[in-house]
């Protein structure tokens, strides 16, 4: 399983997202590899269809997909049980990982 964490340096949430992703993977898919994808400008954001930092893809599939007209450097927020946060919780990531794993079977 190839997991990508897409981010840009100006976003404060990506490092917390990486920590949460590692914690979720330790339980759900310890063999998975994390690939950090740094998005450096709006042209790259458009070519990647970047939904904001942090974003997560497994084998190229977005974990929290959205339809967009434009793609650019922006921070992303996630609706958690404690309100909007700059990264998904460990449990949110675990749920998405389990859902992705079940669709492979």
Name the DSSP class of 82: T
Note the pLDDT tens digit of each residue in 42-69: 999 999 999 999 999 998 999 999 989 9
Size of the chain in residues: 105
**pTM for this entry:** 0.91
Q: Where are the domains of the chain?
A: 2-104
> Token pair for residue 9?
């340096």
Note the pLDDT tens digit of each residue in 12-47: 899 999 999 999 999 998 889 999 999 999 999 999
> Does residue 98 come out as left (phi exceeding 0), alpha (psi in the -120 to 50 range) or beta?
alpha
Select the CATH number that applies to the domain covering 2-104 from these four: 3.10.105.10, 3.30.420.40, 3.40.30.10, 3.20.20.70. 3.40.30.10
For tokens 């939904």, the residue is 51
Measured N-to-C along each axis, helices 14-28 and 90-104 cross at an angle, to the nearest 10 degrees, of 50
């Amino acid at each position: 399983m190839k997991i990508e964490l897409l981010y840009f340096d100006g976003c404060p949430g990506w490092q917390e997202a990486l920590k949460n992703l590692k914690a979720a993977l330790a339980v759900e898919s310890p063999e998975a590899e994390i690939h950090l994808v740094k998005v450096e400008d709006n042209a790259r954001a458009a070519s990647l269809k970047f939904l904001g930092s942090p974003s997560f893809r497994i084998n190229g599939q977005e974990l929290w997909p959205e339809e967009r007209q434009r793609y650019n450097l922006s921070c992303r927020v996630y609706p958690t049980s404690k309100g909007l946060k700059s990264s998904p919780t460990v449990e949110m990531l675990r749920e998405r990982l389990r859902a992705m794993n079940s669709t492979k079977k």
